[in-house]
Amino acid sequence: MSLADTTPSYTAEAFSWTQVATEGPARAGVLHTAHGPVQTPVFMPVGTAGTVKAMTADAVRSTGARIVLGNTYHLMLRPGADRVQALGGLHKFMDWPGPILTDSGGFQVMSLGDLRTMDADGVTFRSHLDGTKYRLTPESSTGIQHKLDSTITMAFDECTPFPATPEQAAASMRMSMRWAARCREAFVPRFGYAQFGIVQGSTYTELRAESARALTAIGFEGYAIGGLAVGEGQAAMFDTITATVPYLPDDRPRYLMGVGTPDDLVGAVQRGVDMFDCVMPTRAGRTGRAYTSRGVLNMRNARHADDPGPIDPDCTCPACARHSRAYLHHLFKASEMLGPMLLTWHNLTYYQSLMRGLRAAILEGRLAEHAAAVRAKWAPESS
């Protein structure tokens, strides 16, 4: 089968999430959208600036991915939302007819430090590219995502820094809830499109509950858990997810933003999360780190220089099916661009395979056993 044959045809559907099976808090379902269905649990490759780095759209599709993520902040800076809209929207612009979720830009803006100032209405910031001053508000973020033709628009929020005192976390969360209401008012409902609210509150369970109740009162098509994987550690992250999920509607998708490692994904699925994104597999692919069914490998390590075997014998991606560890090692040592391309392809393929395995295990009622078996095969990172 050629790469071109991997481009699926899409049928527009009213936006909804349908539950198919459960095992404890874990769920398997189907996300129905204007740009086609997506089986959950699902990992969304990150295409921040309209491209998944080092990958063509056909290559991304060949990994099994059916939904990708873009970013409001980066796309508003270049090429600009008006330009993308004039060129037919982000789906056409980046050759991705399937669903696209766009992050609101809140996390990126909040990461600018001294380059931004925040008030009750929004955020003024200077571009990290050239220092140009910009303004983002709940209304303008929502409007930019509309111009991009995002299938799933995210509410504009403040990603609460960690650590934060209860008072700081409460003030940040309540401002985000006020912004969420303004985002909802600005959102233009369309057949098959959606807007997700974002639960905040740091690691304080009572604040997470308050945030979830506020968002469900506003009413969104889906709900994200934000403000995690920012330094709190996996145990605190899992505890926060466990405390938050019961306050979210059973009939709406749940999205854990910016997470994470394969172990993070397995644990979050077991706790009831449906959707994930993270730069980790693509960033790791560009720096020589391979995620495999047997653990993490550093392809720059000299021990791979004469190894004729594949990165992962359980993987069918081009890096594993056609090339050896020795070849990948050579590409990285020689600074050849093909190395990051092949290893990114592999990492995304592994992440998609991991999610398919988790979904199948939920459908068959064996998630606990499957998760334990997956973890047991991971060797400590030593190569």
User: pLDDT digit string (tens) for 12-58?
Assistant: 999 999 999 999 999 999 999 999 999 999 999 999 999 999 999 99
Q: What tokens does 71 get?
A: 């970013």
- pLDDT tier for residue 381 given thresholds of 50, 70 and 90: low
Determine, yes or no, domain membership for 383.
no
Do residues 295 and 270 share a domain?
A: no
Do residues 248 and 207 share a domain?
A: yes
Q: What tokens does 181 get?
A: 């209401």
Do residues 88 and 119 share a domain?
A: yes
Boundary (domain end) residue, out of 278, 301, 331: 278
pLDDT for 2 equals 47
CATH number at residue 50: 3.20.20.105
For residues 229-248, give the mean pLDDT.
97
Do residues 194 and 257 share a domain?
A: yes
d(CA 28, CA 45): 19
- pLDDT tier for residue 112 given thresholds of 50, 70 and 90: confident
Determine, yes or no, domain membership for 1.
no
Q: What tokens does 95 get?
A: 């050759």
Do residues 237 and 113 share a domain?
A: yes
Determine, yes or no, domain membership for 4.
no
Residues 6+ apart with CB under 8 A from 323: 310, 342
For the chain, what is the mean pLDDT?
95
For 364, the domain range is 286-377
Residue identified by tokens 């709940």 is: 138
Residues 6+ apart with CB under 8 A from 364: none
Do residues 167 and 307 share a domain?
A: no
Do residues 341 and 194 share a domain?
A: no
- Residues forming the active site: 103, 277
Determine, yes or no, domain membership for 249.
yes
pLDDT for 110 equals 72
Centre a 10 Å sphere on the Cβ of residue 303 and count the other Cβ atoms it contains. 12
Do residues 45 and 85 share a domain?
A: yes
Do residues 161 and 306 share a domain?
A: no
For residues 243-262, give the mean pLDDT.
97
Do residues 297 and 264 share a domain?
A: no
- Ranges 23-37, 55-69, 126-140, 293-307: which has the least confidence: 126-140
Q: What tokens does 84 get?
A: 């993308």
d(CA 269, CA 363): 13
Contact (Cβ atoms closer than 8 angstroms) between residue 317 and residue 27: no
d(CA 80, CA 129): 13
Nearest CA among 30, 3, 49, 12 for reference residue 275: 30
Boundary (domain end) residue, out of 233, 253, 278: 278
Contact (Cβ atoms closer than 8 angstroms) between residue 148 and residue 70: yes
Domain count, the chain: 2
- pLDDT tier for residue 106 given thresholds of 50, 70 and 90: confident
Contact (Cβ atoms closer than 8 angstroms) between residue 135 and residue 68: no
pLDDT for 1 equals 38
Boundary (domain end) residue, out of 261, 278, 295: 278
Determine, yes or no, domain membership for 223.
yes
d(CA 210, CA 206): 6
Do residues 234 and 354 share a domain?
A: no
Nearest CA among 304, 297, 196, 247 for reference residue 25: 247
